[in-house]
């Protein structure tokens, strides 16, 4: 059992922290910007809450962060009352935020200077993956730190991989989002075309999902897409945040991402339709408006 601090109890962090407590058996202290949510977590799962990130992290062996973006991450790590001001020597900071590779490298440098470990560890699998403890975790950092952190991360993951040095986890998550964007647009167009052609979409998917067109998105989202229901999983506002990170990095490294840039614009169209909180499969709604 380790002493763990978990900073950020959003739709992902709330169940992830619970798995660290209940499945991992760790001693967990939580912090959330809205204190009532931290109090609700403690009431449901036990453990403790703290009034600041620094106080949550003060005696922890492992400190997890799962917040919204680069600015939020800096606030809870290097900002006033951030975790890096109080972590004990040898402790490890594990960041599950989907953020830039730049901020990951920045935090790794600060942590190293303080005698701390750092792993950037963005996740994939959505809210359902977090709730079921079956997330895919893409890590960046040194191997020795990763090997210490991996058994703890395992509490909420089904796949954990070290992708390279600090920032490599975030870069891998960018690849993940690039692939998802193109897949969802292709699935949306396929369903849209099939409906216009008068086909039974359920029968179509039953057949083509067993061939080369099959994907997780097809298996898990085609039914709700066909029904015009978009309340499942990752919201468009967050996907556009992620794609902005991707496209910014592409401008830096020279990668050509024409499909990703186009799908990002399509998500902007769905936002303009009022779909900010719809899940990413709502690209179909844009075609059927």
From the CB of residue 178, how many other CB atoms can be counted at a distance below 10 Å? Answer: 20
3-state secondary structure of 227: coil
Per the DSSP assignment, residues forming a β-bridge with 279 are: 235
In angstroms, how far apart are the furthest CA atoms of the chain? 65
124 membership: H or E segment, kind and range = strand 123-124
Catalytic choice (21, 173, 195, 223): 173
Please give the structure tokens belonging to residue 42: 């403690």
Evaluate whether 281 touches 188 at the Cβ level (below 8 Å): yes
The residue with tokens 């870069």 is: 171
Examine the residue annotation and report whether 88 is marked as an active-site residue of this protein.
no
Q: Beta partners for 48? A: 29
Radius of gyration of the chain (CA): 20
Which amino acids are annotated catalytic?
173
């Amino acid at each position: 059992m380790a002493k763990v601090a978990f900073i950020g109890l959003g739709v992902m962090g709330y169940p992830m922290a619970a798995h660290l407590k209940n499945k991992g058996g760790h001693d967990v202290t939580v912090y959330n910007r809205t204190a009532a949510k931290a109090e609700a977590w403690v009431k449901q799962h036990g453990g403790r809450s703290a009034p600041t990130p620094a106080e949550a992290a003060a005696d922890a062996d492992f400190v997890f962060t799962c917040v919204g973006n680069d600015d939020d991450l800096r606030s809870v790590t290097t900002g006033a009352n951030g975790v890096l001001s109080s972590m004990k020597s040898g402790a490890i900071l594990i960041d599950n935020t989907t953020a830039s590779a730049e901020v990951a490298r920045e935090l790794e440098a600060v942590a190293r200077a303080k005698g701390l470990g750092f792993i950037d560890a963005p996740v994939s699998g959505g809210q359902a993956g977090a709730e079921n403890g079956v997330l895919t975790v893409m890590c960046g950092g040194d191997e020795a730190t990763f090997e210490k952190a991996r058994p703890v991360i395992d509490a909420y993951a089904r796949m954990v991989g070290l992708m390279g040095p600090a920032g490599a986890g975030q870069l891998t998550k960018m690849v993940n989002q690039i692939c998802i964007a193109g897949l969802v647009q292709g699935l949306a167009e396929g369903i849209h075309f099939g409906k216009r052609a008068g086909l039974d979409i359920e029968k179509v998917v039953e057949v083509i999902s067993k061939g080369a067109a099959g994907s997780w998105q097809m298996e898990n989202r085609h039914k709700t897409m066909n029904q015009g229901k978009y309340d499942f999983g990752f919201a468009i506002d967050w996907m556009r945040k992620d794609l902005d990170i991707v496209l910014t990095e592409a401008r830096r490294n020279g990668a050509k991402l024409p499909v990703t840039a186009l799908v990002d614009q399509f998500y902007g169209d769905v936002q303009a339709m009022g779909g900010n909180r719809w899940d990413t499969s709502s690209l179909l709604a844009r075609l059927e408006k």
